[in-house]
Amino acid sequence: MDKKSSSSIIPDAFNKELNSEVSFRSYKRKHQEFLEAENAAAWDQDAKDKANDLEKQAGAIIRAIREFERDVVFGNKAGEELPDKDSLDMGGQFLTNKDRIEQKSKIFKMAKKVPKGAILHLHFNAVLHPWRLLKEARKSQNMRIRSTKPIQNENDLNEAEIVLAVKPEAYISANIFSPKYAAKVPNAHKDSKKEQSLWMKYDAFLKGFDSRYGEMYAATAGNLPGPESRPDRTEGGLDFPRPAEEWLMGKIVISENEAYDASQTTNGYLYLITSKNVIC
Protein backbone atom coordinates (compact mmCIF):
# COMPACT_ATOMS: atom_id res chain seq x y z
CA MET A 1 0.00 0.00 0.00
CA ASP A 2 1.48 3.32 -1.02
CA LYS A 3 1.74 6.33 1.28
CA LYS A 4 -1.12 8.18 -0.39
CA SER A 5 -3.62 5.35 -0.05
CA SER A 6 -2.65 4.63 3.58
CA SER A 7 -3.21 8.27 4.54
CA SER A 8 -6.66 8.37 2.97
CA ILE A 9 -8.08 5.04 4.06
CA ILE A 10 -8.88 6.13 7.63
CA PRO A 11 -10.85 9.32 6.82
CA ASP A 12 -12.57 7.48 3.96
CA ALA A 13 -13.68 4.71 6.31
CA PHE A 14 -14.79 7.23 8.91
CA ASN A 15 -16.87 9.21 6.41
CA LYS A 16 -18.43 6.01 5.10
CA GLU A 17 -19.55 4.99 8.57
CA LEU A 18 -20.67 8.52 9.38
CA ASN A 19 -23.01 8.54 6.39
CA SER A 20 -24.23 5.00 6.92
CA GLU A 21 -27.88 4.75 7.95
CA VAL A 22 -27.15 1.47 9.74
CA SER A 23 -24.33 3.02 11.80
CA PHE A 24 -26.45 6.08 12.59
CA ARG A 25 -29.34 3.95 13.86
CA SER A 26 -26.91 1.89 15.94
CA TYR A 27 -25.45 5.06 17.46
CA LYS A 28 -28.90 6.46 18.26
CA ARG A 29 -29.94 3.18 19.91
CA LYS A 30 -26.80 2.99 22.07
CA HIS A 31 -27.07 6.68 22.94
CA GLN A 32 -30.67 6.20 24.08
CA GLU A 33 -29.68 3.14 26.14
CA PHE A 34 -26.94 5.19 27.78
CA LEU A 35 -29.36 8.01 28.69
CA GLU A 36 -31.87 5.54 30.13
CA ALA A 37 -29.19 3.89 32.26
CA GLU A 38 -27.98 7.30 33.46
CA ASN A 39 -31.52 8.39 34.38
CA ALA A 40 -32.20 5.12 36.19
CA ALA A 41 -29.18 5.74 38.43
CA ALA A 42 -30.03 9.40 39.12
CA TRP A 43 -30.50 10.38 42.76
CA ASP A 44 -33.99 11.79 42.08
CA GLN A 45 -35.26 9.07 39.74
CA ASP A 46 -37.39 7.41 42.43
CA ALA A 47 -39.15 10.73 43.11
CA LYS A 48 -39.74 11.22 39.38
CA ASP A 49 -41.19 7.74 38.99
CA LYS A 50 -43.60 8.24 41.90
CA ALA A 51 -44.64 11.81 41.00
CA ASN A 52 -48.34 12.37 40.26
CA ASP A 53 -49.60 14.52 37.39
CA LEU A 54 -49.81 17.67 39.52
CA GLU A 55 -46.22 17.25 40.74
CA LYS A 56 -44.99 16.68 37.20
CA GLN A 57 -46.77 19.83 36.07
CA ALA A 58 -45.23 21.81 38.93
CA GLY A 59 -41.78 20.48 37.98
CA ALA A 60 -42.27 21.54 34.37
CA ILE A 61 -43.33 25.05 35.45
CA ILE A 62 -40.29 25.43 37.71
CA ARG A 63 -37.94 24.30 34.93
CA ALA A 64 -39.54 26.81 32.55
CA ILE A 65 -39.10 29.63 35.09
CA ARG A 66 -35.50 28.55 35.68
CA GLU A 67 -34.70 28.71 31.97
CA PHE A 68 -36.37 32.13 31.69
CA GLU A 69 -34.26 33.45 34.57
CA ARG A 70 -31.14 31.87 33.08
CA ASP A 71 -31.56 33.79 29.82
CA VAL A 72 -33.41 36.97 30.83
CA VAL A 73 -32.90 37.76 34.51
CA PHE A 74 -29.24 36.74 34.82
CA GLY A 75 -28.08 36.53 31.21
CA ASN A 76 -26.66 33.20 30.16
CA LYS A 77 -23.70 34.77 28.40
CA ALA A 78 -20.03 34.06 28.94
CA GLY A 79 -17.65 37.01 28.87
CA GLU A 80 -14.25 38.25 29.97
CA GLU A 81 -15.30 41.77 30.94
CA LEU A 82 -15.24 42.84 34.56
CA PRO A 83 -18.91 43.12 35.61
CA ASP A 84 -20.41 46.45 36.56
CA LYS A 85 -23.47 46.88 38.76
CA ASP A 86 -25.85 46.47 35.80
CA SER A 87 -24.15 43.45 34.21
CA LEU A 88 -26.13 40.32 33.47
CA ASP A 89 -23.36 38.01 34.57
CA MET A 90 -24.62 34.50 35.18
CA GLY A 91 -21.00 33.52 35.73
CA GLY A 92 -22.23 33.76 39.27
CA GLN A 93 -20.19 36.46 40.99
CA PHE A 94 -22.35 36.58 44.09
CA LEU A 95 -21.95 40.27 44.91
CA THR A 96 -22.95 41.15 41.35
CA ASN A 97 -26.09 39.03 41.46
CA LYS A 98 -27.13 39.30 45.10
CA ASP A 99 -29.76 42.04 44.69
CA ARG A 100 -31.01 40.48 41.47
CA ILE A 101 -31.43 37.10 43.19
CA GLU A 102 -33.29 38.56 46.14
CA GLN A 103 -35.51 40.96 44.21
CA LYS A 104 -36.16 39.33 40.82
CA SER A 105 -35.72 35.58 41.11
CA LYS A 106 -38.95 33.62 41.56
CA ILE A 107 -36.92 30.43 41.90
CA PHE A 108 -35.18 31.93 44.95
CA LYS A 109 -38.54 32.79 46.53
CA MET A 110 -39.72 29.23 45.96
CA ALA A 111 -36.50 27.77 47.36
CA LYS A 112 -36.94 29.71 50.62
CA LYS A 113 -40.29 27.98 51.19
CA VAL A 114 -39.29 24.39 50.54
CA PRO A 115 -38.42 22.03 53.44
CA LYS A 116 -34.89 21.12 54.40
CA GLY A 117 -33.28 19.13 51.65
CA ALA A 118 -33.36 21.87 49.04
CA ILE A 119 -29.62 22.34 49.67
CA LEU A 120 -28.06 19.05 48.65
CA HIS A 121 -24.81 19.56 50.54
CA LEU A 122 -22.57 22.15 52.12
CA HIS A 123 -18.81 22.20 52.30
CA PHE A 124 -17.68 22.26 55.93
CA ASN A 125 -15.62 25.41 55.38
CA ALA A 126 -18.77 27.25 54.30
CA VAL A 127 -20.98 26.16 57.21
CA LEU A 128 -19.19 27.90 60.07
CA HIS A 129 -17.86 31.41 60.51
CA PRO A 130 -14.06 31.31 59.92
CA TRP A 131 -13.45 32.67 63.39
CA ARG A 132 -15.36 29.71 64.82
CA LEU A 133 -13.21 27.30 62.80
CA LEU A 134 -9.99 28.89 64.00
CA LYS A 135 -11.12 28.88 67.62
CA GLU A 136 -11.73 25.14 67.29
CA ALA A 137 -8.28 24.73 65.75
CA ARG A 138 -6.79 26.26 68.91
CA LYS A 139 -8.19 23.40 70.99
CA SER A 140 -6.55 20.57 69.06
CA GLN A 141 -3.11 19.59 70.34
CA ASN A 142 -2.44 17.75 67.08
CA MET A 143 -3.49 20.53 64.73
CA ARG A 144 -0.79 21.23 62.15
CA ILE A 145 -0.32 23.79 59.40
CA ARG A 146 1.61 23.76 56.13
CA SER A 147 2.38 26.40 53.51
CA THR A 148 3.16 26.38 49.80
CA LYS A 149 6.26 28.48 50.47
CA PRO A 150 8.47 29.64 53.36
CA ILE A 151 7.02 32.79 54.94
CA GLN A 152 9.86 35.29 55.07
CA ASN A 153 8.27 38.63 54.23
CA GLU A 154 5.06 40.48 53.40
CA ASN A 155 5.07 39.24 49.82
CA ASP A 156 5.15 35.65 51.10
CA LEU A 157 2.21 36.43 53.37
CA ASN A 158 0.19 37.47 50.33
CA GLU A 159 1.18 34.57 48.09
CA ALA A 160 1.32 31.62 50.48
CA GLU A 161 -1.47 29.06 50.37
CA ILE A 162 -2.26 27.37 53.66
CA VAL A 163 -3.64 23.99 54.75
CA LEU A 164 -4.72 23.04 58.27
CA ALA A 165 -5.02 19.39 59.27
CA VAL A 166 -4.90 17.13 62.33
CA LYS A 167 -1.77 14.98 62.22
CA PRO A 168 -0.29 12.30 64.55
CA GLU A 169 1.36 13.54 67.71
CA ALA A 170 4.58 11.78 66.74
CA TYR A 171 5.09 14.07 63.75
CA ILE A 172 8.15 16.29 63.93
CA SER A 173 7.40 20.00 63.73
CA ALA A 174 8.56 21.91 60.68
CA ASN A 175 9.23 25.65 60.71
CA ILE A 176 7.27 27.54 58.07
CA PHE A 177 9.25 30.71 58.84
CA SER A 178 12.63 29.16 58.08
CA PRO A 179 14.22 29.89 54.68
CA LYS A 180 15.05 26.16 54.58
CA TYR A 181 11.38 25.15 54.92
CA ALA A 182 10.76 22.55 52.19
CA ALA A 183 7.33 23.66 51.05
CA LYS A 184 7.16 21.28 48.10
CA VAL A 185 8.69 17.87 48.66
CA PRO A 186 8.45 15.46 45.68
CA ASN A 187 6.37 12.35 46.43
CA ALA A 188 5.91 13.41 50.05
CA HIS A 189 2.64 11.47 50.22
CA LYS A 190 4.60 8.24 49.62
CA ASP A 191 7.21 8.82 52.33
CA SER A 192 6.07 9.45 55.91
CA LYS A 193 9.33 11.21 56.87
CA LYS A 194 9.08 13.56 53.90
CA GLU A 195 5.41 14.16 54.63
CA GLN A 196 6.18 15.05 58.24
CA SER A 197 8.67 17.68 57.12
CA LEU A 198 5.81 19.78 55.69
CA TRP A 199 3.77 20.30 58.86
CA MET A 200 4.32 22.78 61.70
CA LYS A 201 2.58 22.55 65.05
CA TYR A 202 -0.27 25.02 65.03
CA ASP A 203 0.45 26.52 68.44
CA ALA A 204 4.11 27.02 67.45
CA PHE A 205 2.93 28.68 64.23
CA LEU A 206 0.70 31.09 66.16
CA LYS A 207 3.57 32.14 68.41
CA GLY A 208 6.05 32.43 65.53
CA PHE A 209 3.67 34.49 63.41
CA ASP A 210 2.71 36.80 66.27
CA SER A 211 6.34 37.57 67.09
CA ARG A 212 7.17 38.37 63.47
CA TYR A 213 4.03 39.99 62.07
CA GLY A 214 1.95 40.75 65.15
CA GLU A 215 1.82 44.50 64.62
CA MET A 216 0.62 44.10 61.03
CA TYR A 217 -2.37 41.93 61.95
CA ALA A 218 -3.32 42.99 65.47
CA ALA A 219 -7.06 42.52 66.04
CA THR A 220 -9.17 45.35 67.40
CA ALA A 221 -12.83 45.76 68.21
CA GLY A 222 -13.14 47.87 65.07
CA ASN A 223 -12.36 45.07 62.63
CA LEU A 224 -14.38 42.31 64.28
CA PRO A 225 -18.03 41.55 63.54
CA GLY A 226 -20.54 43.62 65.50
CA PRO A 227 -22.04 42.20 68.72
CA GLU A 228 -25.20 41.12 66.90
CA SER A 229 -23.29 38.99 64.39
CA ARG A 230 -20.36 37.69 66.41
CA PRO A 231 -20.38 33.89 66.39
CA ASP A 232 -19.31 33.80 70.07
CA ARG A 233 -21.70 36.47 71.31
CA THR A 234 -23.39 34.03 73.73
CA GLU A 235 -20.16 32.74 75.21
CA GLY A 236 -19.41 35.78 77.33
CA GLY A 237 -16.66 38.35 76.93
CA LEU A 238 -14.68 39.36 73.88
CA ASP A 239 -12.20 36.90 72.50
CA PHE A 240 -10.07 38.67 69.92
CA PRO A 241 -8.25 36.68 67.22
CA ARG A 242 -4.50 36.57 67.50
CA PRO A 243 -2.56 38.25 64.67
CA ALA A 244 -1.93 34.89 62.99
CA GLU A 245 -5.65 34.15 63.10
CA GLU A 246 -6.46 37.55 61.61
CA TRP A 247 -4.14 36.69 58.73
CA LEU A 248 -5.70 33.24 58.30
CA MET A 249 -9.22 34.70 58.21
CA GLY A 250 -8.04 36.95 55.40
CA LYS A 251 -6.96 33.79 53.57
CA ILE A 252 -10.32 32.09 54.11
CA VAL A 253 -12.71 34.94 53.34
CA ILE A 254 -12.86 36.35 49.81
CA SER A 255 -12.94 40.14 49.93
CA GLU A 256 -14.80 42.29 47.41
CA ASN A 257 -11.49 43.64 46.13
CA GLU A 258 -10.19 40.13 45.49
CA ALA A 259 -13.38 39.22 43.63
CA TYR A 260 -13.41 42.22 41.32
CA ASP A 261 -9.84 43.53 41.12
CA ALA A 262 -8.82 44.35 37.53
CA SER A 263 -6.01 41.80 37.66
CA GLN A 264 -8.42 38.88 37.99
CA THR A 265 -9.20 36.49 35.15
CA THR A 266 -12.66 35.59 33.86
CA ASN A 267 -14.37 37.99 36.26
CA GLY A 268 -12.11 36.92 39.09
CA TYR A 269 -13.30 33.33 39.29
CA LEU A 270 -10.28 31.39 38.07
CA TYR A 271 -7.92 33.41 40.26
CA LEU A 272 -10.00 32.73 43.35
CA ILE A 273 -10.08 29.00 42.66
CA THR A 274 -6.30 28.85 42.65
CA SER A 275 -5.51 31.44 45.32
CA LYS A 276 -8.06 30.72 48.07
CA ASN A 277 -6.84 27.40 49.30
CA VAL A 278 -7.27 27.11 53.03
CA ILE A 279 -8.61 23.71 54.04
CA CYS A 280 -9.83 23.06 57.56
Question: What are the sequence ranges of the domains in the chain?
Answer: 3-40, 51-113, 125-275
pLDDT band at residue 266 using 50, 70 and 90 as cut-offs: very low
**Tens digits of per-residue pLDDT, 47-85?**
888 999 999 999 999 999 999 988 888 876 655 555 566
Residue 85, pLDDT score: 60
Contacts of 214 (CB under 8 A, 6+ apart): 243
Q: Which of the pair, 185 or 213, is modelled with greater confidence? A: 213
pTM here is 0.49
Query: Could you please report the per-residue DSSP string of 181-205?
Result: --S--TTGGG-HHHHHTT-EEHHHH
- Cα angle 208, 213, 215 (rounded to 5 degrees) comes to 130
Instruction: Inform me whether the pLDDT recorded for 230 exceeds 50.
Output: no
d(Cα 166, Cα 182) in Å, to the nearest integer? 19
Residue 237, pLDDT score: 46
